[in-house]
């Protein structure tokens, strides 16, 4: 009886991996617990252990082969006397439990891929300094931090696992090696303490970049962010500013459930004294992070874990920046406006393609980029042109960024509206764990299409 060894999923967001090294060879006898291979994921290189026992009959990939999908057969072990044949091309079916609900939901992998449409917008393509090479969002963030740290030695980074571990999501990879442990500091798991410390350092003139492993953990430190960082300039009559960037992944990743999947965009956008930024592509991540690091105010920089692997062209000029407070018209259109930000930009783009194909609706997509200060001018101008508005975001519905936009638009462009504004948000419940429920919780392309139809009075 032979056993297939499959490419394992080693992180919640991993869809494929690279086979960096085999630790076994054909003919070896492996026991459960033996190390068999080194796999490089989107986050780290990890060793994989055997779970079954037998003789290695075949290794189906060579060392160094990249982008092997999760659940692909990578090796066969079993009884050497038994004859086995496996086609490398044959994809392995998803597990039975998932098959049962296949009719209702797409598979996990397809779902994640559908999230990401990485065609650059027309505006970006006009950028004459656009790189020919595409890089990931995590690389764009990393490069920008490194560039700013080279320019100004008052810039330093601290957070959990940012140094030796190279970042929980590899966003700070290589920074320790280049800048040393005085400027790249691993902190204990002590958000309240190290956030207060960084705020104090910023009051005294340094320019900290503070990484929250995820923004979920920023709740431990929210008093220091709001009561200290955001308010002190005001309370000191303009004497003491706080040039700090709080950054890290925000919102849902993949099946990490209620305590690790919260979207904080509207929470922080409510606070005067903070600026809130949510990039959606490697290109704007670079330009916006540079503006954030050079800004004299406290910045909440909301990244997205699923977008870390998103590839796209960037502007490699070390002075290239995108102004805070300016939205990007990602796609022009005349029939309705979709205002969105962060990962929902990708879903909105997919919805816009289908709206055109299936309903001949030409949607304009506004990527907010900055949530506070909000670019109301761009939103209002668009609504005055299209007369219809939907907002799309991952946050809970009550008091969301879309709620404020709906308020502004009804106040300042009431006469231009041909239909009520519709908000597309996550479900008004804590994030569930189950794959099927998670998909129901998050805004999907169909939800956006339904909202667009509704504001266009299409049945």
Smallest separation, CB 149 to another protein (Å): 13
- Cα angle 37, 20, 44; round to 5: 90
CB 64 within 8 Å of CB 19 = yes
Smallest separation, CB 238 to another protein (Å): 4
CB 388 within 8 Å of CB 336 = yes
Q: Using CA atoms, how far apart are residues 246 and 259, in angstroms rounded to an integer? A: 19
Smallest separation, CB 195 to another protein (Å): 7
Q: How far apart are the first and last CA of the chain?
A: 56
DSSP 3-state of 151: helix
Smallest separation, CB 191 to another protein (Å): 8
Q: What are phi and psi of 231, to 5 degrees?
A: -105, -15
Smallest separation, CB 207 to another protein (Å): 11
**89 is annotated as an active-site residue:** no
Q: Which residue has the tokens 């330009």?
A: 287
Q: What are phi and psi of 328, to 5 degrees?
A: -115, 130
Determine which one of 4, 260, 305, 393 is catalytic. Answer: 260
Nearer Cβ to another protein (232/342): 232
Q: Using CB under 8 A as the criterion, which residues of the chain lie in contact with another protein when the complex forms?
A: 156, 182, 185, 187-188, 190, 192-206, 223-224, 227-228, 232-241, 272-273, 275, 296-297
**192 is annotated as an active-site residue:** no
Nearer Cβ to another protein (176/198): 198
Name every residue whose Cβ is closer than 8 Å to that of residue 181 and which is 6 or more positions away in sequence. Answer: 163
Smallest separation, CB 239 to another protein (Å): 5
* Long-range contacts formed by 180-189: CB under 8 A, 24+ apart: 182/156, 183/149, 183/153, 183/155, 183/156, 183/157, 184/156, 184/157, 184/158, 185/156, 185/157, 185/158, 185/159, 186/158, 186/159, 186/160, 186/161, 186/162, 187/158, 187/159, 187/160, 187/162, 188/160, 189/160
Determine which one of 191, 394, 404, 438 is catalytic. Answer: 191
Nearer Cβ to another protein (222/427): 222
Nearer Cβ to another protein (260/275): 275
Nearer Cβ to another protein (142/207): 207
Cis-peptide, bond into residue 275, ω within 30° of zero: no
So which residues are the catalytic ones?
191, 260
């Amino acid at each position: 009886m032979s056993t297939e060894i499959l490419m394992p999923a080693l992180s919640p967001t991993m869809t494929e991996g690279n086979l960096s090294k085999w630790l076994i060879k054909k003919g070896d006898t492996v026991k459960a617990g033996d190390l068999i291979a080194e796999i490089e994921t989107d986050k780290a290189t990890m060793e994989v252990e055997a779970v079954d026992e037998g003789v290695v009959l075949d290794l189906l990939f060579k060392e160094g082969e990249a982008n092997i999908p999760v659940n692909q057969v990578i090796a066969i072990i079993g009884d050497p006397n038994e004859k086995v044949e496996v086609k490398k091309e044959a994809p392995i079916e998803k597990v039975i439990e998932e098959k049962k609900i296949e009719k209702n939901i797409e598979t996990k992998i397809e779902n994640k891929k559908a999230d990401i449409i990485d065609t650059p917008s027309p505006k970006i393509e006009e950028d004459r300094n656009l790189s020919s090479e595409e890089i990931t969002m995590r690389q764009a963030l990393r490069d920008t931090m490194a560039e700013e740290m080279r320019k100004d030695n008052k810039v330093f980074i601290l957070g959990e696992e940012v140094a030796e571990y190279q970042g929980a999501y590899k966003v700070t990879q290589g920074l320790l090696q280049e800048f040393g442990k005085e400027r790249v500091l691993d902190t204990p798991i002590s958000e309240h303490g190290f956030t207060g410390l960084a705020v104090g350092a910023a009051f005294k003139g340094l320019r900290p970049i503070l990484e929250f492993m995820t923004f979920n953990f920023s709740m431990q430190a929210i008093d220091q962010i709001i009561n200290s960082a955001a308010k002190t300039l005001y309370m000191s009559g303009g004497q003491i500013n706080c040039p700090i960037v709080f950054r890290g992944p925000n919102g849902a990743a993949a099946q990490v459930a209620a305590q690790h999947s919260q979207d904080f965009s509207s929470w922080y956008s409510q606070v005067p004294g903070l600026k809130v930024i949510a990039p959606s592509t490697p290109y704007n991540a670079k330009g916006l992070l540079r503006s954030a690091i050079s800004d004299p105010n406290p910045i909440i920089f909301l990244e997205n874990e699923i977008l870390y692997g998103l590839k796209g062209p960037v502007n490699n000029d070390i002075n290239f920046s995108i102004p805070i407070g300016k939205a990007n018209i990602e796609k022009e259109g005349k029939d309705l406006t979709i205002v969105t930000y962060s990962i929902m930009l990708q879903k909105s783009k997919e919805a816009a393609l289908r709206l055109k194909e299936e309903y001949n609706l030409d949607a304009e997509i506004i990527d907010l980029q900055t949530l506070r200060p909000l670019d109301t001018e761009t939103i209002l101008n668009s609504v005055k042109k299209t007369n219809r508005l939907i907002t799309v975001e991952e946050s809970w519905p009550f008091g969301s960024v879309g709620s404020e936009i709906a308020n502004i638009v009804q106040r300042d462009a009431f006469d231009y509206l041909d239909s009520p504004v519709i908000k597309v948000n996550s479900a008004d419940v804590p994030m569930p764990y189950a794959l099927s429920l998670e998909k129901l919780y998050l805004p999907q392309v169909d939800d956006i299409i339904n909202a667009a139809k509704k504001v266009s009075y299409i049945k």
